[in-house]
Amino acid sequence: MTGVRIAVVGGGIAGVSAAYHLVEAHPDTEVFLLEAEPVLAHHTTGRSAAILLENLTTRPNLILTRASVDFLRDTPTDLVDAPLLSPRTVMHISSEAQSDQMDELLAEGSLLPSPSVELTVDEAMDYFPPLRRELVHRAVLEPDCADIDVGALHQAYVRGFRRGGGRITTSARVDAARPDGNGWSLETTDGDVCADIVVNAAGAWGDVVAARAGVEPIGLQPYRRTAFMVNGPGCDATGWSFTADVGQNWYVKHDGEQMLCSLGDETPSKPCDAKPVELDVALAIERINEATTLGIRSVNSAWAGLRTFTPDRSLAIGPDSDQPTFVWCVGQGGCGIYTSRGAGVLLADLALGGEPSATFGGADVSGLLPGRFRSSE
């Protein structure tokens, strides 16, 4: 559609992926991105633990993951200067009381291209030697996971978007959006702009942006998660798994000479610039020290981010059922980084009234459409 102007609201991973895939799929359109903060990726994207983990997500989100994995593993060389992924296994451990959760995890993991594997306790100790052996009842390994270079992935989308003629404006918070003929008039802190289509990729602020546009919110809920860095074990930790309690009560992974730790918490929050909570850090240290011999005593740095979910925890992508020129790309929750390519492709497929492309192999994407949250549908 020649001459269509598309405004993408939000400069995190969702927004830059949407923007990049829009200019790739629709080169005759004019796409511009509006970011409220002075820099891109200030909130959730820049604070992610960044693990490619296909298990532990919803079935609809898994469609997006599978549409993203090949791109992440073999990213076009004109977008990146080095590989985005570094192989790392992920191991879940459980107590006897959590055995049913392990059964569920194994059942879900059996459907993956690289199925989850149950380990012996001896094997679990090899994958993460600091575990307290007497507390490990069962262990399950996800063998084909990886660390993701989030900064490089985000920059790849930005590079591709700009190369395709896209424009980025920072410090441009959208304060209001009104229908204007067949399009929109947006009031921003950088001035007024017009667009034929608005893409809402505002993360935790997704429902806020919708309300400012007179569009019914879909029930997004941000949750705060705190993470922190501590000194490493003082030995070579190469090959150690990202290790987590199956109930997501804590996790830990080595990161160079340090260890990244978290409570795995989900504390309901309003959209905000999230800050770490000392109580969460202290509780995480207590749990990790109970489960391992790491003996954490002090913290080098701490931060928090918001993971924002839809009511059913699957992303919402596509035109609003009541206002089709308002297009959603929200609800990334804890999988926004590794689903970003699939989400961007689907957004570009649907934004101008099209159908899902061959990328999705005929998969049923109805569980990702925002109309599922409208009571009339």
pLDDT in tens, 99-153: 999 999 999 888 788 899 999 999 999 999 999 999 999 999 999 999 999 999 9
Identify whether residues 66 and 158 lie together within a single domain. yes
Q: How far apart are CA 318 and CA 315, in angstroms?
A: 10
Q: Average pLDDT, stretch 215-244?
A: 95
Mean pLDDT of the chain: 94
pLDDT at position 377: 43
pLDDT at position 256: 87
Identify whether residues 154 and 71 lie together within a single domain. yes
Identify whether residues 253 and 115 lie together within a single domain. yes
Contact 204, 175 (CB under 8 A): no
Last residue of a domain, which of 309, 334, 359?
309
Question: Would residue 239 count as lying in a domain?
Answer: yes
Last residue of a domain, which of 254, 284, 309?
309
Identify whether residues 322 and 303 lie together within a single domain. no
Which two tokens mark 139?
């262990």
Q: Which of 104, 92, 90 shows the shortest CA–CA distance to 143?
A: 90
pLDDT at position 225: 94
Identify whether residues 202 and 241 lie together within a single domain. no
pLDDT at position 57: 83
Domain CATH code at residue 364? 3.50.50.60
pLDDT at position 122: 97
Last residue of a domain, which of 259, 281, 309?
309
Residue 182 — very low, low, confident or very high, per pLDDT cuts 50/70/90?
confident
**pTM of the model as a whole:** 0.94
Residue 43 — very low, low, confident or very high, per pLDDT cuts 50/70/90?
low
Identify whether residues 302 and 238 lie together within a single domain. yes
Identify whether residues 183 and 263 lie together within a single domain. no
Residue 41 — very low, low, confident or very high, per pLDDT cuts 50/70/90?
confident
Q: Average pLDDT, stretch 21-46?
A: 87
Q: Average pLDDT, stretch 285-302?
A: 97
Asked whether the predicted pLDDT for residue 232 surpasses 80, the reply is yes
Q: What is the pLDDT of residues 258-268, one digit of tens each?
A: 999 999 999 99
Residue 1 — very low, low, confident or very high, per pLDDT cuts 50/70/90?
low
Q: Which domain holds residue 267?
A: 89-144+221-309
Q: How far apart are CA 241 and CA 230, in angstroms?
A: 17
Question: Would residue 81 count as lying in a domain?
Answer: no
Identify whether residues 232 and 295 lie together within a single domain. yes
Identify whether residues 181 and 300 lie together within a single domain. no
Identify whether residues 317 and 298 lie together within a single domain. no
Residue 45 — very low, low, confident or very high, per pLDDT cuts 50/70/90?
low
Identify whether residues 298 and 239 lie together within a single domain. yes
